[in-house]
Amino acid sequence: MGARIRAYDWSSSVLGPPEDWPQSLRVIIRLILNSRQPMLIWWGPELIQLYNDAYIPLMETERHPGALGGRGRDFCEHIWDFVGPQIDYVMAGNGSTGQEDRLVPTTRNGRRENACGHIVSRRSMSKTASAACS
């Protein structure tokens, strides 16, 4: 995923070119790329998505690699009733949310199924109002 993130045309994204990203975002990206734990972050009010290689098997097959740089709400539209209120809570500055071993509805290979969410936490990472899901 590191190569994909470097090759992505961020200049057309609300994040802008990587050299203009805040240091905190660059540090978080390095952290997730070097982790074996599946990790996804949604950055800023648009919830722009970045994730690591370990997260790919948890995604809906047809969504990778197109999910990179996309908006979180677009990516999770089918489960927004589940994740949306939690993200709204975090983005409003109310603290973090978390769950363990929660079944999350998803679609893989064209079939609807419940996937185990393992440990999922959502928290603000900075005053830029970003959320993280891991």
Q: What is the pLDDT of residues 2-18, one digit of tens each?
A: 999 999 999 999 999 99
Contact present, 49 and 4 (Cβ < 8 Å): no
The alpha-helical segments, DSSP class H, found in 9-66 are: 23-33
What CA–CA distances, in Å, run from 82 to 11, 88, 106, 117? 31, 11, 11, 12
Q: What is the pLDDT of residues 49-97, one digit of tens each?
A: 999 999 888 776 677 887 999 998 998 887 788 788 888 888 888 888 8
Any idea how long the chain is?
Answer: 134
CA 23/CA 2 separation, integer angstroms: 17
- Tell me, yes or no, if the pTM score tops 0.75: yes
Beta-bridged to residue 51, according to DSSP, are 40
In the numeric block, the tokens 């900075």 are attached to: 126
CA 21/CA 19 separation, integer angstroms: 6
CA 1/CA 65 separation, integer angstroms: 9
Q: What is the pLDDT of residues 27-42, one digit of tens each?
A: 999 999 999 988 989 9
CA 9/CA 70 separation, integer angstroms: 12
Beta-bridged to residue 41, according to DSSP, are 50, 132
The residue extents of the domains of the chain are: 2-133
| Topology of domain 2-133, CATH | Beta-Lactamase (3.30.450)
